[in-house]
Structure 1
Amino acid sequence: MSTLSSTTDPRNNHEVDGKPIPHDQNVLQKHVGFFDRNHDGIIYPWETFQGFRAIGCGILLSTVAAIFINGGLSQKTRPGKFPSIFLPIEVKNIQRGKHGSDSGVYDSEGRFVPSKFEEIFSKHARSHPNALTSDELMGMLKANREPKDYGGWLASYTEWKILDVLAKEKDGLLHKDSIRAVYDGSLFEIMEKEHSEKKKK
């Protein structure tokens, strides 16, 4: 899989690492924005499903992901609103859906924290300085666990294992550029393009 430069987001033409981001959208919003397929600020389960299918996931994984993600985030991103059977996620409030036992790369406002991103590799990348093996990834997840935060453990494990399956290179490693690109969602666009090109062949 081709990867993206770790410092730019081509959709927004701005520097990310260590630079201010636009006030109208934080990096966490960019991360989930790919799944807002009609760009209306709301992500419904069928859009989550379509997004996963677009990057090459099978029907079963896409279905489970849509149920898990929308079921877990809908009400958290809709404070004060009556629960909806359609499980919509409001992109503007996505930072409210942050869970515990994570890497800390997103802060409480959904902004990217470069020092926390670098810690992933300085602390856990033993075999290769800019990539993680599956065992190193599991070690990171265990190190990030907060006591009795079972929901956070499950959410982190699910997110990272899906990323490992989808973005791992042929050498069996999850590379730094791929991980960086998933944080602002640009990896999803790359994967969608590659999947679309494969279907045309």
Structure 2
Amino acid sequence: MAIRRQPWAFSSLHLPLATALLFVWMFGWGHAMAHTDTANMTALQKHVSFFDRNKDGIITPSETFEGSVAIGFSVAYAREFASLVHGANGPITSPADAPLPHLSIYIENMYKGMHGSDTGAFDAKGRFVPQKFEEIFIKHAKTRRDGLTHSEVEEMILANRDPLDPESWEGPEIEWGGIYKLARDSDGFLHKDDARGIYDGSVFVKLEEKRASSQGVM
């Protein structure tokens, strides 16, 4: 069934089966250990490793939920986001001998979860491609060179859509839309360094620290 495009992907993500499986996993199943060479991670592996809260090389749905709340998503959105991400990437990245129902994401195999309609700043193995990242700002940062407005991020997402792969359209909406909402400044700009941090996961660390600091002040 086609998914109707909604502004910034903060519409409800209706995935009742995946959500049910998520909570069965969170309160029922465990998982095996995996080896990840952190010193030689690709940018894509670094991008997702923030959500590997216990650093065992495997990201469970509950860890994605926890990490999503930690960077500022609401509980409801974090639950649905974790369901979507793990429903799509768990089966793809799980080795054949991994415990069922294959909802955990294995960082070592994260490249298998690459999707279309993206910026090209990850290559096929998940390595960062600086030239493609720079193209984002050369082509779309029209108001100021080191930041993107709401409309410029949307323009970039639309420009990268693969018309032959409509199933890949939702991913960039969720990824870029979510980070824009959390990381934009008071003038509505997503700064270039924060956009760069999407690719190696450093923006997630920054957002978690910002949220923790604001909660500590309150």
Q: Which bracket does the TM-score occupy, shorter chain normalised?
A: 0.7 to 0.9
Give the CA RMSD over aligned residues: 1.6
Q: How many residues align?
A: 180
Give the gaps of 5 or more residues in structure 1.
Answer: 1-21
- Equivalent in 196, 199, 218 of residue 180 of structure 1: 196
- Confirm whether residue 64 of structure 1 aligns to residue 80 of structure 2: yes
For the residues of structure 1 that align with 2:208 and 2:39, how far apart are their CA atoms?
A: 27
Q: Given the two structures, how large is their TM-score scaled by the length of structure 2?
A: 0.78
For the residues of structure 2 that align with 1:150 and 1:81, how far apart are their CA atoms?
A: 32
Give the gaps of 5 or more residues in structure 2.
Answer: 1-37
Show the counterpart of 2:69.
53
Query: Which amino acid is the alignment partner of residue 58 of structure 2?
Result: I
Query: Which amino acid is the alignment partner of residue 111 of structure 2?
Result: Q
Structure 2 CA distance for partners of 1:110 and 1:23, relative to 1, 3 Å: farther
Instruction: Point out which structure has higher relative CO (alpha carbons under 8 A, 6+ apart).
Output: 1
Q: Classify the secondary structure of the residue corresponding to 2:115.
A: coil
Q: After TM superposition, which residue ranges in structure 1, 4 or more long, deviate above 6 angstroms?
A: none
Q: Given the two structures, how large is their TM-score scaled by the length of structure 1?
A: 0.85
Q: CA deviation at 1:199?
A: 1.5
Q: Percent identity?
A: 43
For the residues of structure 2 that align with 1:168 and 1:83, how far apart are their CA atoms?
A: 39
For the residues of structure 1 that align with 2:161 and 2:134, how far apart are their CA atoms?
A: 18
Show the counterpart of 2:125.
109
1:30-60 Cα offsets, whole Å, 9 max, x none, are: 1100000011111011000000111121101
1:93-152 Cα offsets, whole Å, 9 max, x none, are: 111101001000010111000000000000111111111111111111111011231221
1:1-57 Cα offsets, whole Å, 9 max, x none, are: xxxxxxxxxxxxxxxxxxxxx872111101100000011111011000000111121
For the residues of structure 1 that align with 2:180 and 2:114, how far apart are their CA atoms?
A: 20
Show the counterpart of 1:141.
157
- Equivalent in 55, 66, 74 of residue 39 of structure 1: 55
Q: CA deviation at 1:85?
A: 2.7
